[in-house]
Amino acid sequence: MVQVMNTAVIKSDWVGRTVDGRFPLLECLGDSGTSVVFRTEFLEAPAKRAVIRLIPADIGNPQLLLKDWAAVAGLSHPHLMKIYLSGQCEVDGVGLAYVITEYAEENLAQIIPERPLSPDEAREMLPPVVDALSYLHGQGMVFGHLKPSNIMVVDNLLKLPLDSMVGRGGAKTHATAGIYYAPETANGDGSPASDVWSLGVTLVEALTQRPPAWERSTSRDPLVPTSLPEPFGGIARLCLRIDPGDRATLPAIRTRLEGGDASPVPASERETGPIPVAKVRAVSVPVSAPVLPARPELRLMPKAADGEPHRTAGSKRGLIGLGGALLVVLAVIVFVIARGHRSETPAPPVAQAPAATVPAPRDAVPQPPVAQPPASTGSTAAGEATERVMPDVSTAASRTIHGKVLVKVHVTVDANGVVSGAAIQSAGSRYFGAKALEAARKWKFRPPQANSQAVASEWILEFMFRQNGTTVNPVQAKP
Q: Of 35, 39, 15, 43, which Cα lies nearest the Cα of 96?
A: 35
- Is residue 50 classed as helix, strand or coil in its secondary structure? strand
Q: Identify the residue with better confidence: 332 or 194.
A: 194
Go through 85-114 and write b for each residue having 16 or more CB atoms within 10 A of its CB, e for each that does not.
bbeebebeebbbbbbbbbbbbbbbbbbbee
State residue 263's pLDDT score: 52
DSSP 149: G
| Residue 285, in any domain of the structure | no
165 part of a folded domain: yes
Highest mean pLDDT among 75-84, 288-297, 318-327: 75-84
The confidence band for 87, taking pLDDT boundaries of 50, 70 and 90, is very high
Mean of per-residue pLDDT scores for the chain: 76
How many CB atoms are closer than 10 A to CB 361?
6
Identify whether 430 is part of a domain: yes
pLDDT band for position 254 (50/70/90)? very high
Say yes or no to pLDDT of 334 above 80: no
Which pLDDT band, with edges at 50, 70 and 90, does 378 fall under? Answer: low
pLDDT of residue 416: 92
- Among the candidates 241, 276, 311, a domain finishes at 276
Residue 265: Cβ within 10 Å count: 12
Q: How far is CA 313 from the centre of its chain?
A: 60
Choose from 206-220, 391-405, 425-439 the range with maximum mean pLDDT.
Answer: 206-220
Confidence of residue 376 (pLDDT cuts 50, 70, 90): very low
Same domain, yes or no: 146 and 261: yes
In angstroms, the first-to-last Cα distance of the chain is 64
Query: Is 357 contained in some domain?
Result: no
Q: Is the pLDDT of residue 335 over 70?
A: no
Identify whether residues 59 and 201 lie together within a single domain: no
Give a yes or no: residue 356 inside a domain.
Answer: no
Q: How does strand 49-56 pair with strand 83-91? A: unpaired
DSSP structural state of residue 381: B
Distance CA 28, CA 22 (A): 17
The reply to whether 110 and 208 lie within a common domain is: yes
**Are 415 and 471 part of one and the same domain?**
yes
Question: Where residue 379 falls among pLDDT bands split at 50, 70, 90?
Answer: low
Q: What is the pLDDT of residues 422-431, one digit of tens each?
A: 888 888 777 8
Instruction: Give the model's pLDDT for residue 312.
Output: 38
Domain count, the chain: 3
pLDDT at site 370 = 44
Same domain, yes or no: 164 and 88:
no
The burial of 232, by beta-carbon neighbours within 10 Å (0-12 exposed, 13-18 middle, 19 or more buried), is given as buried
Q: Note whether 81 and 203 are same-domain residues.
A: no
Looking at 249, 276, 303, the residue that finishes a domain is 276
Write out pLDDT tens, residues 104-134: 989 999 999 999 999 999 999 999 999 999 9
Q: Is residue 228 part of a domain?
A: yes
Which of the listed residues 81, 103, 125 is the one where a domain comes to its end? 103
pLDDT of the residue at 323: 46
180 lies in the same domain as 43: no
Q: Which domain holds residue 30?
A: 1-103
CATH number of the domain that residue 458 is part of: 3.30.2420.10
Residues 4-49: tens digit of each pLDDT: 455 666 666 788 889 998 999 999 888 877 889 999 999 888 888 9
More confident residue, 356 or 105: 105
Q: Are residues 87 and 114 in the same domain?
A: no
Are 212 and 88 part of one and the same domain?
A: no
For residue 269, being part of any structural domain is answered with: yes
pTM of the full structure:
0.56
pLDDT (average), residues 257-270: 55
202 vs 147: CA distance, rounded Å: 6
The reply to whether 298 falls in a domain is: no
Q: Give the Cα separation of 337 and 214 in Å (integer).
A: 91
Q: What is the pLDDT of residue 32?
A: 76
Whether 179 shows a pLDDT value over 50: the answer reads yes
**pLDDT score at 241:** 95
Say yes or no: 67 and 187 in one domain: no
Same domain, 129 and 195: yes
Looking at residue 90, which CATH number applies to its domain? 3.30.200.20
Which CATH number characterizes residue 208's domain? 1.10.510.10
Helices (H), 368-428: 395-399
Q: Are residues 166 and 269 in the same domain?
A: yes
